[in-house]
Structure 1
Amino acid sequence: MSVRQKRIDPAAVEGDFYHIKDLLTDEERKTLDRVREFMVNEVQPIANDLWIRAESPLQLREEIRALNITGTYADDPSVAPRSYLLTGLIGMEMSRVDPSFATFFGVHGGLGMGSIRECGSPEQKERWLPQMVRWEKIGAFALTEPLVGSGTSRGLTTTARREGGTWVLDGEKKWIGNATFADLVVVWARDEADEQVKGFVVEKGAPGFSADKLEDKISLRGVQNAHIVLDHVRVPEENRLQNANGFRDTARVLKVTRGGVAWSATGCSIGAYEAARAYAVEREQFGRPIGGFQLIQDLISRMLGNITASQAMVARMAALHEQGELNEAQAALAKMFCTSRMRETVAWAREVLGGNGILLEHNVARFFADAEALYSYEGTREMNSLIVGRAATGLSAFV
């Protein structure tokens, strides 16, 4: 074996330069290995095809259920308890292979189930969450509107009006992942009576509810985003999330899922890095692999630096969450930082491949495009920076 071969660190090849995965217990590592095997064997072979056809991997529902990683032990005793670190690394592992799959999974298990878990009554949790754990019902989360994105806390235009034992919802939502096929859509609307944002679970087939797939996306094409119209949709009081009585309750859900996006962004960076590194050691120019040229090695080291810094941040975020100390600003900083570093990393990966970087066959192009959606959703960089800035100065810069 040559000296050069002896110096290759498998963890560096996989983008885990500081061995973050060594923080897991042996049992947790086995779970993560099962997820990796599933992603490599089941998702990776179809990822580009699903991206081209703009389809979600609904055919894998049974296989996903068998992984036993959807939801929490509190949702259903059949779910094995997981640390926040393992949960984050699972999201990272998914995004490392296919950010669209990670988002499809996260919308259901994070935003949809998370809304019910955080804001539902005990009866509502028992009614819906076990079915969602088993993927018998798929969830979606409808907050963003055609004309209201970052300003949802104050500018939500979808309305809810109570009429006896039912609520009437009117309005529109946009960019709602999974909504074209979801069985349960958590719709956030402003109560006309007290002007507070409340959450409602709209079940599939409700009269007046329509969800049309958004066409011609250039990012996360494997996620079915929808434009929703609510035209006098009647929702029974028992479908109103009983502990969602203001936007602060919505923000509790977003705090957790913003952290999840930070993990996914880190995974997207790793996927792009791994594809670029593999290409660099195989592609030859001027009689030698391009990975042996200084400028390529500079890009490789920059990518590893971004990935490692992001991993360190999200691992610490997971520890704070485990201790019950994670706050909104810390989650916002992780989302802001990791998605910004991701954007740099996927661009450098595309640069390593030159013209081949825009071809799906080398995978980098998919990570490059998908990064744009991860960068924008769950709060733009600018909005998250204002959350962090408010925490740092004690002064709000929100309009």
Structure 2
Amino acid sequence: MPRTMPVPSHGRSVVIAVGKAAAAMMQVAQARTPKGHAIEGLVVTRHGHLPETPPENVELIEAGHPYPDDNSIRAAHRALEIAHGLSAGDRLLVLLSGGGSALLAAPAPGLDLADKQAITRALLQSGATIEEINCVRKHLSAIKGGRLAVAAGAAAVTTWIISDIPGDDPSFVSSGPTVADHTDLASAREILAKYRIDPPASVARALADPANETPPADSLGLAGGETVVIARARDALAAAGQHAASLGYHVTNLGDNIQAEARHLGAGHAALARRLAKDGKPRAIISGGEATVTVVNKAGRGGRNLEYLLSLAIALDGAPGISALACDTDGIDGTEDAAGAIVTPSTLARAAAAGLDPAAHLARNDAYLFFQALGDLVITGPTLTNVNDFRAILIRAEPGER
């Protein structure tokens, strides 16, 4: 974040921080506010994502994720209320990070919380990308897709973003409450059709109602504001790559814009690792982005990083010298308590000794239980940041081990 917060020459300074990194971002904003300037603030984050010493002198709301809850609605209405109370000469600083789409839920007219939960669940289990999911969310909302900026009226709006979106399009981070949208209702309907999602009747009506089209850019008051992505997955990958290189690894950076079915991605990365291991050099294969999971067993326990790793382990088949880690940088992979897990050359042998069937666990979306049984989960707790998934495969194969 910049060294000092933007403050108006006159008028109020208001900060709304939303997402899994919201509390940490607010603390930095408070620390960098010029002396003599008071800021008012609201922090909206996931349940359990406040630090031991939370930000002081601001309103704090913990809400549901990945599915919105009653607090998500309360938080959205509070954010809109704050924005509506601003005037010309005031400045609204919005600090966004991943998770805000669920944390701020203001259903469009004719919808309720149950509708929002149902469509969110269907989308998350369908294999849709995060951009597709957030496109639908924007058109079922009274706050997303730039509507919070519209509510701020003549006040200057500045948005700083920690991006968890592959490609870092700011309009998709937390579904862009202050950023102009470039999708439309027709796109949202096409996404539901693509994944064969039969929405509740109320949702179908809302997506057919022109009143739910997102506001045009010229209505957002953007002339007095700015939108800046201040941290992204590529920054994390660059730092990891530099560290790996300093340890003597030859680094292959596959980029931060990977979106693919997790089990297919794992199998593909295993094939790449096997191929690169043939020269016997120490190598690190790193990647980011956000894999997807098509859920076939709604009672399964897992996450996209865990499913990726289980597929990777099966495809590696105990290949010597190859280990891997995959974690969500926010500390929570899916809905479980693990950030992710590790895979080693002994993973499948230890699974066999424990009576575990890797293919069966993968088929029923039960990767969490597989790695839990092996003691190979990575549990960090909330990290208070979020640049999406981080994957690393380390190759220490020596000639003759193949």
Q: TM-score range by the shorter chain?
A: under 0.3
TM-score by length of 1: 0.28
Could you state the TM-score of these two structures normalised by the residue count of structure 2? 0.27
